[in-house]
Amino acid sequence: MKRLLTFILVILITLTGCSPKVNEPEEQPSIQPLSYLDIYYLNDFHGAIEKDSPNLGIAYLANYIEQKRLDNPNGTLLLAGGDMLQGSALSNYYQGQSTLTIMDQMKFDAMVVGNHEFDWGIEVVTQNFLGDQALSFPLLGANIFHKETNELVDGIDPYTIITRGDVKIGVIGIMGDGLESSIATSKVSGYSFERSLEMVKFYASYLREDENVDYVIVLMHDPGGINSQIDALSGSENVDIIFNAHDHQKNISRLPNGTLTIKSGSNGQAIGHVRIDLETSQMTGVNVSSDTLFNTPNAEVQTLIDQYKLGTDEIFLTPIIDAGQYMSKDELTEWVANLMRVRANADIAFHNTGGTRASINHGEVINYAKIYEILPFDNVIKSAYILGSEVKKMMADQGLRYSTLKSSFDDQTYYLVATNDYIYDQTSRPFITAEQQFYNGDIVRDLMRDELLLQKDLFDAFYISNQFQIQPDLSAYTQDQP
């Protein structure tokens, strides 16, 4: 029966255009038989291309990998755990293509889809993995389906097989169950991430029984919610290593049944390294954040970075205003809520804490690149009239910060509420069923830039307490209450 199911699913994958890539090294040097495999790992890189302590910088990480490959030229793998693209000006400006091109130069062997790969629409990312100009490494996601058809997404493979010497390694890509909630509804409404454990079991068995792989790896954009269930798998469903991601933590552990798990922080502040001794099958793991090899950039990668920077430096590095105080992420979240309230002429505005990704140091020069660090997502302002009872629920939400001049809200009175589209479009919120809804297309990040450009002509520095200069957009937001 299992063989029949295997055959059916493989046929379905072929029909939906997902032909998994089999990665072979470009060159197979004639060296001594393989003694061990070295697997290097980056996750949640968030486009942290340039060196900016504690971010190591991708040119310096590339130098580390290049030198380590010389130590084990026929036995080295390089994997990516998702959320690799979204988060810096130099990556976002090119919608991740700059980061992907550099990863291709570094000879990554596979990348799993993360939730932030959906931020521009998943097709923006998958187009880099399709056609004659496709990148040389595959994008993985065995449990990412079109909701209507239950088919896998074109440009995303369920697994890949990597051969090193006479060793075959099967790598299964998995998106964590439920991570749809970490993506703007408008970008993910047509997709679902489900049956992750079922997909691991199926593909592990298929890879061992039909492809005769020696090791099975699960490359999973998830903190580890099903790790213990994967560890309990046995026989042909057994998994050797789980690479986790998403929560930006660093951790290496050995589960009760022997599965090794590793996650390696975020923003290229560390690189994971797992070594498999092929004689004893012993596996060891470490996260590396300090090494003399990080002191020197890889010349080819640095050249690529410099080429991308030629098109962006003037846009992103021109100083706007200096910071007159330290501003925490929470303080900036409230400031952004205040900015949206003023722009939308709203009674109250909300911004999510997860949408603010950086603080500002006292005396720091603020430019557009810094604003991208603070607000990396292309969120726009939307507003609607909702009842005071719903406003109160949102005010109690620990994941939100708000700005209002009102001292109280009546349960049965309608109020104009502004927020970003990530919050607005969530089906658990009251906005998308509201009778009166408004937006003018303002990108919150660009609105912050425009506000600071206005402030620089009036204030010596940027303070949280500076009076807002941006004008309400009364043409787009109305105060006509229901």
Which pLDDT value is given to residue 23?
58
- Per-residue tokens: 34: 């393989």
Q: Rounded to whole angstroms, how far apart are CA atoms 478 and 473?
A: 9
Q: With a cut of 50, which residues of the chain have pLDDT below it?
A: 1-8, 10-17, 28-29, 31
Q: Where are the domains of the chain?
A: 2-310, 318-455
Which pLDDT value is given to residue 17?
46
How many helices and strands, by DSSP H and E, does the chain display? 15, 22
| Residue linked to tokens 């990668």 | 301
Which pLDDT value is given to residue 408?
97
pLDDT tens digits, 97-143: 999 999 999 999 999 999 999 999 999 999 999 998 899 999 999 99
Which pLDDT value is given to residue 20?
61
Provide the residue type at 14 as one letter.
Answer: T
Q: Rounded to whole angstroms, how far apart are CA atoms 195 and 176?
A: 10
pTM of the model: 0.85
State whether residue 324 is helix, strand or coil.
coil
What would the DSSP string read from start to end of 212-269? --SEEEEEEESSSTTHHHHHT--GGG--SEEE--SS--EEEEE-TTS-EEEEE-STTS
Q: Which one is the CATH code of 2-310: 3.20.20.70, 3.60.21.10, 3.90.190.20, 3.40.50.1100? A: 3.60.21.10
Q: Alpha-carbon Rg of the chain, whole angstroms?
A: 24
Span 318-455 CATH architecture: Alpha-Beta Complex (3.90)
Stated length of the chain: 482
